[in-house]
Structure 1
Amino acid sequence: MAAVLALHSSSEVLGVGVRWLDAPSGLAGRTVVRAFPLGRELSNQLFSCIEQLLPAEQWPQLSRLAVATGPGGFTGTRLTVVLARTLAQQLQLPLDGVGSFLLVARRQGIGEPTWLVQELPRRGVVAGLYAPAGPDRAIIELQAPRLFAPDTPLPPGPQLSAAALLPNDVEQLLELSVQAADQGLAAPWQPVLPSYPTSPVAGL
């Protein structure tokens, strides 16, 4: 049995998804996604939530991993990225790291270059630019999310909220990872790191 495990914790809600790729009759192609509104309890309940979908004794049967890399909360995003990196290293699995804003852009089905924006009280706006490209009109990231100070206007163009929606965004994450697997794309775990447009130690 082979499966893909996807993790998303760039918001106050943990998203977990599993797609079975090669499994006994009735399981192959099946996708299960769940959302867990954990907030600050993420560090205490992360493993138990994953095991509700995929018990730990089945983790060696995984064939690929995917994780949302943010932007998001410093601690929440870091926890799932570190776990995904550790599993990928220990199980020798490919790991797809995907920005959470890109997942939102795919879910929204944008049809033109669009800014995905997330307001930060008193600090400004985090924004990234996304657009469809190529013959298949796949959504790609044109500009990675970065912080615009309160007195810095965004470049012109349509804007949409970058708020995560779980478990829907986990479905997008699974889909991208399965596509990468089908294409035989390498996905080393080493480059997969959390995205922090703002410094977690600013002002210290």
Structure 2
Amino acid sequence: MTDLPDPDGRPWLLALHSSSDSLGVGLQRLGATQPERLENFPLGRSLSNRLFDCLESVLPATAWPQLGRLAVATGPGGFTGTRLTVVLARTLAQQLALPLDGISSFQLMAGRLLAGPRPPSVAGPFWLLQELPRRGVVAGLYGVDSGQPGGVVELEAPKLHRDSDALAPFPIHPAEVRLPEDVIQLLGFSAARAASGLGAPWQPVLPLYPTSPVEALPC
């Protein structure tokens, strides 16, 4: 089904998310409002060996010239999984001359929470926080902004803190990846940026590593 051209000639939007133990892949036509294909591959440590096979099971390589835009979750997440998927997305964007949207996994969670049945208060910013044993916490700050694609603004990118006491006094919500829901958010963010006519060069899209071993824990 996915290797056939669209009757209207619309290219594909491909989204990749590997900020957890699973690889999420989403596919929809640019200009469409719903994904046509969503897949979740619980690969764990085998992602490096099966990444291409999983991608081709969703969109065969023969159909990659039909791509019109790419989106990838940049983390925080596992070092290997996030790095490999971002590198793959950058390579495809470079070789196929495509725009690439890189969006943090925390911002995707924020979008999902705001669109869910129990959204955080829209009166002010809120934190998303992940606890790391013996390392501290990774937290990012988010808010509602209807003028931004996706309706969410990342006020502070996820970074490492010693503990939650170091955070400004805003509500805190747990940072938990959920697939395929976060892949749907990734498709939505990228589609909104495309509809707004925003460019998306691949060069600035890099994995996000708040717990880099070369950086000291904040005091």
CA distance in 1, matches of 2:88, 2:158: 23
What residue in structure 2 maps to residue 75 of structure 1? 80
CA distance in 1, matches of 2:94, 2:147: 35
> Which residues of structure 2 form unaligned runs of 5+?
6-10, 115-119
Which residue of 139, 143, 151 maps to 1:138? 151
What residue in structure 1 maps to residue 27 of structure 2? 18
What residue in structure 1 maps to residue 199 of structure 2? 186
Does residue 59 (structure 1) correspond to residue 52 (structure 2)? The answer is no
Which residue of 88, 95, 98 maps to 2:100? 95
Which residue of 130, 137, 156 maps to 1:125? 137
Native 8 Å contact 1:21 1:29 kept in 2: no
TM-score, with length taken from structure 2: 0.85
Does residue 114 (structure 1) correspond to residue 126 (structure 2)? The answer is yes
Describe the SS at the equivalent of 1:147: strand
What CA deviation, in whole Å up to 9, does each residue of 1:123-168 have, x standing for no partner?
Answer: 0000010010246891110111110114853221111111110111
CA distance in 2, matches of 1:192, 1:11: 19
What residue in structure 2 maps to residue 159 of structure 1? 172
Describe the SS at the equivalent of 1:189: coil
Cα deviation, residue 28, structure 1: 9.6
Cα deviation, residue 201, structure 1: 4.8
CA distance in 2, matches of 1:57, 1:200: 40
Describe the SS at the equivalent of 2:69: strand
Structure number with the higher strand fraction is 1
- What code does the residue aligned with 1:99 have? S
Cα deviation, residue 21, structure 1: 3.2
- The alignment of Structure 1 onto Structure 2 pairs a total of residues equal to 199
Native 8 Å contact 2:72 2:186 kept in 1: yes
Closer/same/farther in 2, CA of residues 199 and 29 from structure 1, 3 Å limit: closer
Native 8 Å contact 1:74 1:200 kept in 2: no
| Deviation larger for 146-155 or 35-44 | 146-155
Describe the SS at the equivalent of 1:96: strand
Cα deviation, residue 117, structure 1: 0.4
CA distance in 2, matches of 1:150, 1:54: 42
Describe the SS at the equivalent of 2:166: coil
> Which residues of structure 1 form unaligned runs of 5+?
none
| Deviation larger for 31-40 or 151-160 | 151-160
TM-score, with length taken from structure 1: 0.90
